[in-house]
Homo-oligomer: A and B are copies of this chain.
Amino acid sequence: MTNWQRPESATSTALLTDKYELTMLSAALADGSADRRCTFEAFARRLPDGRRYGVVGGTARVIDAIERFRFGDAELAVVSEFLDERTVRWLRDHRFSGDVDGYREGELYFPGSPILSVRGTFAECVLLETVILSILNHDSAIASAAARMVRAADGRRLIEMGSRRAHEESAVACARAAYLAGFTATSNLEAARRHGIPAAGTSAHAYTLLHTTADGRPDEAAAFRGQVATLGVKTTLLVDTYDITEGVATAIEVAGPELGAVRIDSGDLGVWAREVRGQLDSLGATGTQIVVSGDLDEYAIAALRAEPVDTYGVGTALVTGSGAPTAGMVYKLVEVDGVPVEKRSSHKVSKGGTKSAIRFARSTGTIVEEVVYRTSVPVPESDGLTGRPLTIPMIRDGVREPDLPTLTESRDLVARNLVSLPWEGLKLSHGDPAVPTRFVG
């Protein structure tokens, strides 16, 4: 019996980076600038086109990746091919020893929110750019799209089933980000194992097609009998392989009115949901639920809100960020030895200085504004409003803080955050960020 390695605990993240991070390290070690105290900040200059808010995803994975950012023999062999000896020696003993502050996973973010603040020497901070951005950009894009779907589903169950449309490891992170945002379950087993997310599954057309009569004709009833015999009457039968109306009739004939659910994966889902609900009810299967799937995105989910749908299965649109597959965050040097620095070339202005953020809400809980401020100024206040600090310590002197939010806690945070947005900020239609951001510093 083989014991396979688990990728997320046994592997280094040190090469999940760009070559230029290392050549810059090399130049900085040579010219004496490598040890200057720096702050790098991860933030989004803007939200994807028309989006009203973003959801921070991936923070916990970032912290893990920083801990595994270590150069073993295999990693050193690669970088030795283009680096000088001093740099290779430096990398051999390297581990991040600085500080990280940032938004909790599950916080909402807006343009300019200082989502992650990384402080330490230039050398140790610059190396982390690519892997930090890879994780934040991916997971936040998926969490942000997923949150819109969760809102659109308005309390109905959502199953993430997009693994087959995403890179095989991205799929695991997509399942995690969807769950973070409020999805009920995932089809992905590695996500269940690695992150403890509930796994769910229905049935496949292949299983129905597999069942034929002795003379080669389709035998949907045999497939349903096989599935119910093994998985029980509470299973979900896929009724659209041949003819949906016949499929539903056969399903109830085989499983009886106690059948858990039927799934419809094609056709006009709204029309079919109504038809099938009527048919199920007329057959006495009033408790049999309806699962719909097939190219659903937040708009299609919302459009089905008046229909008798119990569960949505969402695939492609979820794992591709529903039109915004990356969050577009950047990681910029904002402070050197206590002095703010900023790039000044056209269209890419960033605000220098180490920053924190606080969000102000009315007594009703509705957010009014986000204030981003330099840590060098007093914490801002806002008349008559309650402020909630958004920035928390995550790593101190290279050591992970205890009591960082768990995935479950972050999931609860998303749910609380979504109800704190002004009503119009939750609309699916295009518009400005749901709340304004004010900069103080």
Q: From A298-306, A343-351, A404-412, give the one contacting chain B.
A: A343-351
A15 near B168 with CB under 8 A, answer no
A161: chain B residues at CB < 8 Å are 18
Beta-carbon contacts of A1-12 to B below 8 Å, as 1s and 0s? 111111100111
A187: chain B residues at CB < 8 Å are 18-20, 130
A242: chain B residues at CB < 8 Å are 343-345
A190 near B16 with CB under 8 A, answer yes
Within 8 A of B (CB), among A23-67: 23-24, 26-28, 30-31, 33, 36, 38, 40, 65
A332 near B205 with CB under 8 A, answer yes
The distance from the CB of A200 to the nearest CB of chain B, in whole angstroms, is 6
A27 near B189 with CB under 8 A, answer no
A4 near B126 with CB under 8 A, answer no
A166–B74 CA distance with the chains assembled, in angstroms: 24
A19–B186 CA distance with the chains assembled, in angstroms: 9
Q: From A278-286, A320-328, A359-367, give the one contacting chain B.
A: A320-328
A193–B82 CA distance with the chains assembled, in angstroms: 13
* Any B CB within 8 A of the CB of A369: no
B18 near A230 with CB under 8 A, answer no
The distance from the CB of A348 to the nearest CB of chain B, in whole angstroms, is 5
* Any B CB within 8 A of the CB of A381: no
Shortest Cβ distance from A161 into B: residue:
B18
* Any B CB within 8 A of the CB of A183: no
A5–B13 CA distance with the chains assembled, in angstroms: 11
Q: A73-B1, A210-B36, A320-B325 are in contact. Are A189 and B18 (CB under 8 A)?
A: yes
A395–B135 CA distance with the chains assembled, in angstroms: 35
* Any B CB within 8 A of the CB of A292: no
A347–B240 CA distance with the chains assembled, in angstroms: 11
A70: chain B residues at CB < 8 Å are 2, 4
Beta-carbon contacts of A228-251 to B below 8 Å, as 1s and 0s? 011100000000111110000000
Q: A11-B5, A15-B190, A336-B212 are in contact. Are A328 and B316 (CB under 8 A)?
A: yes
B210 near A15 with CB under 8 A, answer no
Contact partner, A345, options B134, B173, B222, B266, Cβ 8 Å: B266
A119–B336 CA distance with the chains assembled, in angstroms: 60
Q: What are 15 A-B residue pairs whose CB atoms fall within 8 Å in the complex?
A: A6-B74, A16-B189, A20-B201, A24-B227, A82-B199, A122-B210, A126-B204, A133-B165, A134-B167, A138-B166, A205-B332, A209-B336, A243-B344, A244-B345, A321-B325
**Which 4 pairs from chain A and chain B are nearest by CB?**
A20-B201, A31-B226, A19-B201, A133-B164
